[in-house]
Amino acid sequence: MGDDGQKKILTVDDDRDILNALAMILEPAGYQVVTAENGVEALEKAASESPDLILLDVMMPEMDGFAACAKLKSSPDTQDIPVVLVTAVADHITDSKYPIDGVMRAEADEYLPKPFDREKVLNVVAGLLGGGA
């Protein structure tokens, strides 16, 4: 939590432009944003920063978003943090090794497609965090 009860959101993507875009949506809405650039770093930041919500990209090197989400949900320290999987994976469903539907139901709390729709991002975040920033 920030000093004024501000909600903290961990954004995870290997593309810095995406991280910047998310910060430009979330920060003006009153959220504190911390970033990670891969799944491994995401797990470290989730433990050290105790975010209120995690926006997690699916397609990343080292550890993809599904694996990171599964690890977050299996750790007592982070299992209660809502995780939103962010992906343009709809483009890849035919060649993807992930059964999207099953994975979504199993682990993630919500799902956001890229490219981002500002209102949708804020609605999903607010919905999981219970109201505004």
Give the CA distances from residue 4 to residues 7, 8, 26, 32, 79, in Å, rounded to whole numbers and listed in that order.
9, 11, 16, 11, 25
Question: How confident is the model at residue 18, as a pLDDT?
Answer: 93
Question: Which tens digit of pLDDT belongs to each residue from 96-130?
Answer: 555 555 455 447 888 888 888 999 999 999 999 98
The verdict on residue 53 lying in a domain is yes
131 in a domain, yes or no?
Answer: no
- Top pLDDT among 95 and 37 is at 37
Rounded alpha-carbon distances, angstroms, from residue 64 to 83, 84, 85, 123: 14, 13, 10, 25
Q: Assess if residue 16 is contained within a domain.
A: yes
Structural domains of the chain, count: 1
Pairing of the two strands 8-12 and 32-36: parallel
Q: Provide the CATH number for the domain around residue 108.
A: 3.40.50.2300
Model confidence, pTM: 0.84
Residue 93, domain member (yes or no): yes
Residue 111: how many other CB atoms lie within 10 Å = 16
Residue 78 within any structural domain of the chain? yes
- Strand partners of residue 87: 113
Q: Largest Cα–Cα distance of the chain, in whole Å?
A: 45
Residue 1 lies inside a defined structural domain of this protein: no
In a domain, 127, yes or no: no
Q: Please check whether residue 90 lies inside any domain of the structure.
A: yes
Q: In terms of residue numbers, what domain contains 75?
A: 8-122
